[in-house]
Amino acid sequence: MNRSLVILTCCALSGVLYAAKPAASEPQPTPVEVALTAIEAGNLNKAEKQLSAIESPAGKLYVQASVERAKGEQAKAIKTLSKLVVNYPNDADWIAKADYMCAEVYCDLGMSKAADVTAKQVEALYPGTELAQKAEVLRAKIENDVEKKAKGQKQD
């Protein structure tokens, strides 16, 4: 095969391959995205199936915690999140989200003080972000819940 033929063949092959790929304007969702969307839709099985495809260890833990939380297994979720927070503190993609979810799960577990502390740290560590705003709202909710509980106890 002469040199020009080789080049032509390569171009042709690449064209075939290119044609087989999806359009560039429609990127495939990542396994994490698929999993999180599935959790939102309540399809936990689908989310769990994605776990093995997630490359980022922190991302995998986040999705796993999300699944556990959605299943109502809050104690498991907080342990999984703790693994993420402790072992991947420099993972900029997941650490802030994990911190925030920790606050939420503590709240679910009725550990208001830990929830408040964690939400406060989200505000302090990620100022000006959407998560910080959400943490502020969560803290207001926690405060409200605590007050309500105190009032309820009084009335009892």
Partner 1 sequence: MGQYIQKSSMRSKRVPLAVLLGTMFFSPGLAMAEVYPEELVDLSAGALITQGTKLLKSEKYDDAVVYFKEYLVRMESTDTDRVRSMKQRVRLRIATILSHLEDYQGSIEMLEAYTQELPLARPREAYKLLTINYNEAKDYERCIQAAQIALTQPEPKGLVEKEKKEENFEDLSKDELGGLSARQLKRYAEIEAEAAKEGRIDLSQNLNASDKAEPEYTLDELILLNMLLAESCTKLEDWETSVKPYKFVVEYAMQEDRKGYATMQLVNSLINLERFEEVKEFILQLCETDARYDIRVNMALMKAASSLLEHKEFDSALMLYRMILPRTEMIAYQERKMNEIRQEVGLPDVVVTIEKNESGRADTVFGYKNSGLSAIIKAQEAAGKLPKKPMELILLEESVGELANLAPYEDDVLYRIGQLYASAGRPWEAVEALDAVVARDPDGERGQRAFAESLMVYGTSLKQYDLVEERALDYLAKNKSGLGPRMVTHALISSYQSQDNWEAVKGLLPIIKGFEPSDDKAVVQYECELYYLQAIADLMLMEYAEARKGFWYVLAQYDKSHQQQNSLYWHAMSGLFLQEYEGALKELTKFAADFPRSQYVPSVLFHSGICLFALERYDEAEQKYTEVIENYPEDRVYSDACSMRADLFASKGNEWLEKAQEGYEEAIRTAQTDKQDSYAVFQMAAMFEMEERYDEIIEVVNAYLARQDKKADVAKAAYWIGKTKLAQGLIDEAVAEYRKAIVRYGDDVQQDGVDMIITELVNVSARLDEKQLAKLEESLLRSVENAKNETLRLRLLVLLAKINDEELELGKELLTQVTDLKSAPPPVLAIICDASFAENNYSNAEEILKLFKTKFEDSDFMRSAYKLRGYDLYSQKEYDETLKLIKETQELYGTDSDAVWAQIMRGDIQFNEKELDAARETYRAVLNVRGWRGEPYAEANYKLGLTEEAAGEYGAAHDWFQRTYVQYKGYDGGNWAADAYLGSARSLSALGKENDSRNTYRAMLFDKYVNTLPQADVAKKALGAEEVAEINAFIESGMQTNIVVSLEAEVPQK
Nearer to partner 1, 3 or 154 (CB): 154
| CB under 8 A, 24+ apart: contacts of 53-57 | 56/32, 56/91, 56/93, 56/94, 57/87, 57/88
CB 80 to partner 1: min, Å? 10
Q: Which stretch binds partner 1 (CB under 8 A): 15-23, 36-44, 60-68, 79-87?
A: 79-87
123, 133 Cβ separation under 8 angstroms: no
Q: What type of residue sits at position 110? A: G
* x-or-dash string of contact with partner 1, 121-140, rule CB under 8 A: x--xx-x-------------
Residue type, 123: E
The CA-based angle 131-138-73, given to 5 degrees, is 95
Q: Is 66 in the site for partner 1 (CB under 8 A)?
A: no
Query: Within its chain, how far is the Cα of 134 from the centroid?
Result: 15
Q: Is 153 in the site for partner 1 (CB under 8 A)?
A: yes
Nearer to partner 1, 13 or 79 (CB): 79
Place of tokens 């999984």: 80
- Cβ proximity to partner 1, 54 vs 78, nearer residue: 78
Written as six digits, the tokens of 101 are: 């979810």
Q: Which of 49, 83, 134, 141 binds partner 1 (CB under 8 A)?
A: 83
Residues that bind partner 1 (CB under 8 A): 78-79, 81-83, 85-87, 89-90, 95, 102, 106, 111, 113-114, 117-118, 120-121, 124-125, 127, 153-154, 156
